[in-house]
A and B are shown apart, each in its own frame.
Chain A
Amino acid sequence: DQQVKQNSPSLSVQEGRISILNCDYTNSMFDYFLWYKKYPAEGPTFLISISSIKDKNEDGRFTVFLNKSAKHLSLHIVPSQPGDSAVYFCAASGKLIFGAGTRLAVHP
């Protein structure tokens, strides 16, 4: 039973537009969430995180929103750039449980 779900396996966005990646979780005890970015042949790298006491965290072009009542978080990238093309994983802590990932393609 997946505790962290990313229901969109892929997303295609035009350069300069907003990318929105979604993540749902089932365990209300999760209190810290992270987004990782992964390029082919590399390990995931940490991107941004959010604590359950907040509903928004922003870092440059990246913003994560948390809706605790809906058990939903999203990552917004604006403006999207071709270098953002990668697989994005959300994770919940506790035990760092990951979703299946969403492959983002940003095209010129």
Chain B
Amino acid sequence: ETGVTQTPRHLVMGMTNKKSLKCEQHLGHNAMYWYKQSAKKPLELMFVYSLEERVENNSVPSRFSPECPNSSHLFLHLHTLQPEDSALYLCASSQETYPAGEAFFGQGTRLTVV
């Protein structure tokens, strides 16, 4: 058990679909993150939540909508995505946010937008 679980592992969706990515952590951490990894690009920080409150939104388009109902769960709601949004989406958690310290990552959701 990695401590951070992401579902689904793979997702193919059309540009008009609505889907959600789910992340769950069992580590008792206070901070959770969404990252996007595209080919040959740095891991891009998308959102940061601290104690269920969003503390960072890195100019992410509104077609990505995060939700953190409690400190153990984080969702990323997707709607009307574009093909260039195809990437590996990674969730992570850490004990605190600033500084973040060691973060634990899930295995990621490989998203393909067709």
Contacts and interface: CB of A to CB of B under 8 A. Distances in A.
Tell me whether A and B are bound partners: yes
Contact of B100 (A4, A44, A96, A99): A96
B102 A99 contact: no
B92 to A, nearest CB: 7
A43 B5 CA distance: 10
Contact of B45 (A2, A96, A101): A96
B106 interface: yes
Interface stretch (B14-22, B36-44, B75-83): B36-44
Interface of A: 2, 4, 9, 31-32, 34, 36, 41-46, 49, 89, 91, 93-101
Interface residues of B, number: 28
Nearest to A49: B102
Contacts of B45: 95-98
A31 to B, nearest CB: 7
Given A32-B99, A43-B4, A96 B105 contact: no
27 contacts: A2-B42, A31-B99, A34-B102, A34-B103, A42-B107, A42-B108, A43-B4, A43-B6, A43-B92, A43-B105, A43-B107, A44-B43, A44-B105, A46-B102, A46-B103, A49-B101, A89-B43, A93-B99, A93-B100, A94-B99, A94-B100, A95-B48, A95-B100, A96-B33, A96-B103, A97-B45, A98-B45
Contacts of B64: none
B53 to A, nearest CB: 15
Interface of B: 2, 4, 6, 33, 35, 40-43, 45, 48, 56, 90, 92, 94, 97-108, 110
Contact of A45 (B6, B94, B105): B105
Contacts of B42: 2, 4, 89, 98-101
